[in-house]
A and B are shown apart, each in its own frame.
Chain A
Amino acid sequence: MPIISARGLTRSFTLKRKETVDAVRGIDLDIEDGQLVAFLGPNGAGKSTTLRMLTTLLPPTKGSATVAGHDIATDPSGVRARIGYVGQKNSAGENYRVRDELVAQGRCYGLPIPQARRRADEVLDMLDLTKMAKRRPGTLSGGQRRRLDLAIGLVHEPKLLFLDEPSTGLDPTSRAEVWSHILRVREEIGMTIFMTTHYLEEADAMAERVIIIDNGRIIADGTAEQLKNDLAGDHIILTTPDAARAAELTGGEADGATVKLRVPNAPAALPECLRTLDAHEIKVTAAETKRPTLDDVFLALTGRSLADDDVPA
């Protein structure tokens, strides 16, 4: 049984002046146990709204979903007890010491006091925060704060962890650090991770499955490799003085002195392509192959670039 299963999940918001905005328009989703899934899309695509519905923060307008075996509408407490959630903002309250918040979090999930304390110390150690135990969140660096958010989400050892933009707003070093912690913890606990992101490289490198959402609908779903092969494909770029003829012979597109052609597997197609041109005595001065990025996938699907939108929400 999938750990997340959604059917026709829909959410609309009523703004002032009776205007309605359809943030999520009928999402069907099945996530298998143990996967690391990236939910990718531009700002305002409906990523966070979907996440908020799955984590019981927001009731759906229409549709249904079961998360960790419990229905989000009829048994929200059953869902809450089994999931962890790290939101976009800070999980720790400003007035509280780091360790106090972790103990309180364990208590929120029904752990007896000694066990809550033990778990607090364990997650502090796991995320390299032991030295910060008595500090207040406001005195931590951005990366440390994010690790604290993760620690809070992990106190009760959830089997399913939701991460909403886990590395947004961090510098590259802190991002890498936060990611190494996420991956290591996942290795140790073996949990399912469902995360939203608008960082393409992150989804590409980390996720076993990428689901692309745009305008409240899922527009693509698969491994990063599958999506890139099926929806964007490789490119071969050749530089030649006789670009027009070369384009004709290879079926590519000429642009000045370069020819660009789309192929399923560029490294395998390149030698053949060069031999053909050689046989027609066309001199190729440079040749390169290019793997597509997830942005090419998004571009192919929507005609827009995701990278244009790469501003933290």
Chain B
Amino acid sequence: MTTFLRDTATVFTREFTPSLRNPTTLVFEMLQPLLFLFLFGSLLKGATDTSWQWFVPGILVMMCLTGPMGSGYNLLTEAIGGSLERLMVSPLNRTAMLVGRTLKEMAVLFLQAVLIILLALPLGFELHLAGVILGLALLIVLGVGLGSLSFVLALKSAPDGTMFYLVTQWALFPLLLLSGVLLPVDSGPAWLRIVGYVNPVKYLVDAQRSLFSGQLGDISVLYGAAAAGLVALIGLYAGTRAMRKGI
């Protein structure tokens, strides 16, 4: 266990160091969701009777989808370049390799979340701290799972990586649209709502919205936690298995 924690810290530090060396990239990573929040959020506010309470958690879930996919892309470039091979020959714990990488994305997500919440406060966002903390914890669990799945995809797509781009581009939009992150699914036709039920991201979005409005006991929180846990389990299982099979 101590080896696992040490190795996770090692991988996390390695991933994070380039951002510290070149903070400009970090600044742009911060700006992107903010742009989204203000441009899209303002539009949406005029169109429906939704609130920041509804929109902020959605933005965070959206970033929790794109962030881990980004870390899969990093892994793909490392697989193509050769540095992944060198890390695989080292005694690093295999699960720590998956978790440490995703935690870097999660750290960025955490910073983004703090920034968004701070900026949304004067616009009328109500802060329920316990709910927000619990919500972010759930996102970390989901992120680790999604990150691992995107690593599996990256490993399968090496050496050319075409499959990685195809699948991530293809999967991202249905997952987002059918989760109700940007637009409410409940107002859509019946078939759309049914498809939404098999989308784990939808449960996460519902759970986040309950948590961010302070309803910690809502049943949707339980469903969201179960969905995140399931994605994490499947992701870590598939990820470590893929690495054991050799690269």
State yes or no: do A and B come from one complex.
yes
Contact A110 B91 (CB under 8 A): yes
**Can you name the residue of chain A whose Cβ is closest to the Cβ of B86?**
A91
- Known A57-B85, A59-B246, A104-B13: A93·B78 in contact at CB below 8 Å: yes
Quick one: which of B53-93 are within 8 Å of A by CB? Answer: 74, 77-78, 81-83, 85-92
Chain A interface mostly: loop
Tell me the bound Cα distance from A55 to B88 in angstroms.
Answer: 9
Q: Is A97 an interface residue (CB 8 A)?
A: yes
Contact B83 A59 (CB under 8 A): no
- Known A108-B87, A152-B86: A94·B77 in contact at CB below 8 Å: yes
Contact B246 A57 (CB under 8 A): yes
Contact A108 B81 (CB under 8 A): no
Contact B246 A89 (CB under 8 A): no
Which of A96, A105, A108 neighbours the largest number of chain B CB atoms within 10 Å of its CB?
A108
**Can you name the residue of chain A whose Cβ is closest to the Cβ of B20?**
A100
Question: Chain A residues with Cβ under 8 A from B6's Cβ?
Answer: 110
Taken residue by residue from 87 to 105, chain A's Cβ proximity to chain B (1 for < 8 Å, 0 otherwise) reads as 1111111111100110011
Question: Chain A residues with Cβ under 8 A from B83's Cβ?
Answer: 90-94, 101
Tell me the bound Cα distance from A88 to B80 in angstroms.
Answer: 12
Question: Chain B residues with Cβ under 8 A from A152's Cβ?
Answer: 86
Q: Is A262 an interface residue (CB 8 A)?
A: no
Contact A83 B85 (CB under 8 A): no
Question: Chain B residues with Cβ under 8 A from A55's Cβ?
Answer: 89
Quick one: which of A11-68 are within 8 Å of B by CB? Answer: 52, 55-59
Tell me the bound Cα distance from A81 to B88 in angstroms.
Answer: 11
Number of interface residues of B (CB under 8 A): 27
**Can you name the residue of chain A whose Cβ is closest to the Cβ of B93?**
A77
Question: Chain A residues with Cβ under 8 A from B92's Cβ?
Answer: 108
CB distance from A185 to the nearest CB of B (A): 17
Across the interface, A109 reaches (CB within 8 A) one of B91, B245, B246, B247, namely B91
Contact A59 B91 (CB under 8 A): no
Number of interface residues of A (CB under 8 A): 32
CB distance from A69 to the nearest CB of B (A): 14
Tell me the bound Cα distance from A232 to B7 in angstroms.
Answer: 52
CB distance from B159 to the nearest CB of A (A): 10
Chain B interface mostly: helix
Question: Chain A residues with Cβ under 8 A from B3's Cβ?
Answer: 110
Contact B13 A89 (CB under 8 A): no
- Known A87-B85, A90-B82, A93-B83: A77·B91 in contact at CB below 8 Å: yes
Contact B14 A104 (CB under 8 A): yes
Which of A95, A96, A97, A105 neighbours the largest number of chain B CB atoms within 10 Å of its CB?
A95
Quick one: which of B85-138 are within 8 Å of A by CB? Answer: 85-92
Q: Is B17 an interface residue (CB 8 A)?
A: yes
CB distance from A297 to the nearest CB of B (A): 31
**Can you name the residue of chain A whose Cβ is closest to the Cβ of B97?**
A108
Tell me the bound Cα distance from A94 to B3 in angstroms.
Answer: 27
Contact A57 B81 (CB under 8 A): no
Contact B17 A83 (CB under 8 A): no
Question: Chain A residues with Cβ under 8 A from B89's Cβ?
Answer: 55-57, 80, 83, 85, 87
Question: Chain B residues with Cβ under 8 A from A108's Cβ?
Answer: 7, 10, 87, 90-92
- Known A55-B89, A108-B10, A109-B90: A94·B81 in contact at CB below 8 Å: yes
Across the interface, A85 reaches (CB within 8 A) one of B7, B74, B86, namely B86
Q: Is A107 an interface residue (CB 8 A)?
A: yes
Which of B3, B83, B85, B88 neighbours the largest number of chain A CB atoms within 10 Å of its CB?
B83
Tell me the bound Cα distance from A90 to B90 in angstroms.
Answer: 15
- Known A77-B91, A108-B10, A109-B91: A89·B85 in contact at CB below 8 Å: yes
Contact A93 B91 (CB under 8 A): no
CB distance from A103 to the nearest CB of B (A): 9
**Can you name the residue of chain B whose Cβ is closest to the Cβ of A95?**
B18
Question: Chain A residues with Cβ under 8 A from B245's Cβ?
Answer: 59
Contact B246 A80 (CB under 8 A): no
Tell me the bound Cα distance from A96 to B86 in angstroms.
Answer: 14
Contact A93 B81 (CB under 8 A): yes
**Can you name the residue of chain B whose Cβ is closest to the Cβ of A104?**
B14
Question: Chain B residues with Cβ under 8 A from A81's Cβ?
Answer: 91
- Known A90-B81, A93-B78: A80·B14 in contact at CB below 8 Å: no
12 pairs, CB–CB < 8 Å, chain A vs chain B: A52-B246, A55-B89, A57-B89, A80-B89, A85-B89, A90-B83, A91-B86, A92-B83, A97-B17, A108-B87, A110-B91, A152-B86
Residues of A whose CB lies within 8 Å of any CB of B are: 52, 55-59, 77, 80-81, 83, 85, 87-97, 100-101, 104-105, 107-110, 152-153
Q: Which 4 A-B pairs have the closest CB atoms?
A: A89-B82, A58-B246, A108-B90, A93-B83
Task: Knowing that A90-B83, A108-B10, A109-B90 touch, tell me 19 more A-B residue pairs with CB under 8 angstroms.
Answer: A80-B91, A83-B89, A85-B85, A85-B89, A87-B85, A87-B86, A89-B82, A91-B85, A94-B77, A94-B81, A94-B83, A96-B17, A100-B17, A100-B21, A104-B10, A105-B86, A110-B3, A110-B6, A153-B86
